[in-house]
Amino acid sequence: MPDTKESDGAEAHQYQAGSTTHREEDQWKHRPPYRLNDDGGKDFVAKWKGKCHCGAVQYELSRDKPLASKYCHCTTCQRMHGAPFQWAAIFHKTDINFTSGHHDLGWYDPSNKSTTHHLPCKVQCAYCRTPIMDEGRNMILLFPTLIEGINSKQGRDAFKATCHMFYPQRVVDIKDGLPKWKGLSDQSPLIDEETGDEISDSEPEPKSKKQKR
């Protein structure tokens, strides 16, 4: 297997983060979620640890549980993960601290099918290709199966999903009693898990109407 890391001072391919920090295009390394907290940082207390399959990329999380945890059935997630759906946990960008592999990351922008760091994008280990997270403009979506202890009761409880999104695009039926949204959660109609039909009058009110009240 070819070594994808830099050697002999050569620059990494564009799909890799690379080890340089002085160029203008390296400024992302000084901002969350990639900015490193030395020794965890005085205010950074690790509650969870995660890593990719090969162990090159490792990180810590400072939050007891995610802001939200959801199952996404959209076709992009199905293809990118090679699975029926994506299990994603939402965190602030400041909730994560990379302890290893800061320079061993690769990106993919599914909207433009580009390997440049353009938000929102998919982030992966540049060596074993394990999906690390989805980086949005304001938040990150981490994948609980990378978390150490996720198969414990504490882990399952902390990262328990609260709903399904893009359920009409599903390839498997899941009757777990959780809300099932046609699109994004709280922004689209609900789907009846028994019939697969859209539930009438379930579409959330536009934010503009709520704000007028």
Please check whether residue 207 lies inside any domain of the structure: no
Q: Collect the ranges in the chain with pLDDT lower than 50.
A: 1-15, 40, 210-213
Rounded Cα distance, 113 and 123, in Å:
13
**Cis amide leading into 66 (omega within 30):** no
Residue 35, pLDDT score: 77
**Has residue 80 been placed in a domain?**
no
Average pLDDT over all residues of the chain: 85
Which stretches of the chain are assigned E, i.e. beta strand?
48-51, 58-61, 68-72, 86-92, 96-100, 105-108, 121-125, 131-135, 139-142, 163-165
Global pTM reads 0.81
Query: What's residue 14's pLDDT?
Result: 46
Phi/psi at 141 (5° precision): -115, 110
146, part of any domain? yes
pLDDT reported for residue 213: 43
Evaluate whether residue 177 is within a structural domain. Answer: no
Write the CATH number for 106. Answer: 2.170.150.70
User: How many domains are contained in the chain?
Assistant: 1
Is residue 19 included in any domain, yes or no?
no
Does 149 map to a domain? yes
Which domain, by its residues, includes 102?
A: 24-73+85-160
Per the DSSP assignment, residues forming a β-bridge with 14 are none
Cα separation, 119 vs 141, in Å, equals 13
Domain assignment present for residue 65? The answer is yes
- pLDDT for the residue 196: 92
